[in-house]
Amino acid sequence: MSPSELSYIINELGEERGEYFDAVAPPIVQTSNFVFRTVADMKRAFDDEYENFIYTKGRNPTIDILRKKLAALDKAEDCLVLNSGTSAIFASVFANVKSGDHIVSVNRPYSWAQRLFDNVLPKYGVATTYVDGRDIEAFERAILPSTKIIYLESPNSWDYAIQDLRAIAELARAEGIITICDNSYCTPLFQRPIELGIDMSLQSATKYIGGHSDVVAGVLTGTKEMMKKVFNQSQLSTGIGIPPFHAWLLLRGLRTLPARLERISATTTTLVNWLKQHPAVEQVIFPFDPSFPQYELAQRQMTGACGLVTIIIRAKKMEEIVIFSESLRHILMAVSWGGHESLVIPRCASLNPQDFDAANPEHRMLRFYFGLEDADYLKSDLEQAFEAMV
Ligand SMILES: *Cc1c(COP(=O)(O)O)cnc(C)c1O
């Protein structure tokens, strides 16, 4: 996507300013319902809620501006904005499976996607097989006659394992299987799964699109036909749309998305290089570092990498990792990412202390998100926490 196309989408596309007093910022159309003047008009709307304003659970003008921009960023025909990234996962899957169907998922998808596949869908007769997403043949072997969906997340959000989206899309298309890719790591600025042949792309808008850690939302893009199916079968029957105010916050976040990602990418590159030479760090995992095992594929498929970086810290005891994490003053210990503030999650926060095994590098993982702060400010915070460990 050219820089001018990006500027146009973010600043102008979908904004009919003449319709709202030539205001630069779009209005928050804070209404639950819309009026009809004739029975015939009401009937027409009832016949196709996807094309008409009836009730904000379905369509709303503020949300529509956002939908147009997000569809264009993904080079998709259409887009739905839902009340969380998790809803986007649920909605896309739910509209496309029935009892007896099968899903092939990449190993270790986002935790609540995995729980949907493991704990919820089996109650409705839908089974999931997990495969190593780095191995195309693993997908071929896992496909059954009943496979309806191949579910991907590339890169994933801990070790950034990547799938060859174009190759998997081709394989799935030949078998009539729908492909879905969680693109939260990259955003459409750094990777566009639909251009690579994937049927539906989704992301947690809570992360980079919102960008300020103040709204939870999700984005799903695909063909208009598919979005209409998901709208009718998932969004309307479960009520997982977003309020107009949240759409407005996301529009506000979008205005600065390219500038924020540029800054975050630069800071992250600086910090990756610094962490790589740090004696307390055994390994740095970052898809755009030449040491990354799938570096070549990352370069081919993605045009950038963002603020998520995982390190394997040198530690003999969990206590050392606890001291490091608790010593950070500016980098906050919290889930999520994509906001202004830098964050850390130590992998050991999801382990029982008696299960900690220093010989297992995964237990010594810490995932950082580098936000909008100055790189030196973050570096000195990390340095003092490394010093506190010893
Ligand atoms: C956060 C996240 C989600 C879920 O998004 P929510 O908006 O928190 O529901 C999905 N996938 C990935 C990779 C995420 O990081």
Could you report the per-residue pLDDT of 17-76, keeping only the tens digit for each?
A: 999 999 999 999 999 999 999 999 999 999 999 999 999 999 999 999 999 999 999 999
Burial of 75 (0-12, 13-18, 19+ CB in 10 A): middle
Residue 6, pLDDT above cutoff 90: yes
Bridge partners of 346?
366
Distance of CA 203 from the midpoint of ligand 1 (Å):
7
The residue to mutate among 92, 111, 112, having the most atoms of ligand 1 within 8 angstroms of its beta carbon, is: 112
Q: Which long-range contacts (CB under 8 A, 24 or more apart) does 362-367 make?
A: 363/318, 364/282, 364/312, 364/313, 364/314, 364/315, 364/321, 365/158, 365/159, 365/310, 365/311, 365/312, 365/313, 366/310, 366/311, 366/313, 366/321, 366/324, 366/325, 367/157, 367/158, 367/308, 367/309, 367/310
Is the minimum distance from the CB of 157 to ligand 1 under 6 angstroms? Answer: yes
- The C-alpha angle 118, 197, 137, rounded to 5 degrees, equals 55
Q: What is the pLDDT of residue 267?
A: 98
The residue to mutate among 80, 156, 206, 336, having the most atoms of ligand 1 within 8 angstroms of its beta carbon, is: 206
pLDDT per residue as tens digits for the range 120-170: 999 999 999 999 999 999 999 999 999 999 999 999 988 999 999 999 999
Is the minimum distance from the CB of 356 to ligand 1 under 6 angstroms? Answer: no
Q: By percentage, how much of the chain surpasses pLDDT 70? A: 100
**Cβ neighbours around 272 below 10 Å, total:** 20
Q: What is the pLDDT of residue 106?
A: 98
pLDDT per residue as tens digits for the range 253-275: 999 999 999 999 999 999 999 99
**Cβ neighbours around 100 below 10 Å, total:** 11
Is the minimum distance from the CB of 92 to ligand 1 under 6 angstroms? Answer: no
* Residue environment code for 326-346, b if the CB has 16+ CB neighbours within 10 A, otherwise e: ebbebbeeeeebbbebbbbbb
- pLDDT band for position 318 (cuts 50, 70, 90): very high
- pLDDT band for position 390 (cuts 50, 70, 90): confident
| Domains of the chain, earliest start first | 3-255 (3.40.640.10), 257-389 (3.90.1150.10)
Residue 179, pLDDT above cutoff 90: yes
Q: What is the CA radius of gyration of the chain?
A: 22
d(CA 105, CA 152): 6
pLDDT per residue as tens digits for the range 326-383: 999 999 999 999 999 999 999 999 999 999 999 999 999 999 999 999 999 999 999 9
Give me the DSSP letters along 214-260: ----EEEEE-HHHHHHHIIIIIHHHT-B--HHHHHHHHHHHHTHHHH
On average, the pLDDT of the chain sits at 97
- pLDDT band for position 96 (cuts 50, 70, 90): very high
The residue to mutate among 84, 89, 180, 184, having the most atoms of ligand 1 within 8 angstroms of its beta carbon, is: 184
Ligand 1 atom nearest 217 alpha carbon: 7
Residue 250, pLDDT above cutoff 90: yes
Please compute the mean of the pLDDT values over residues 189-204 and round it to a whole number. Answer: 98
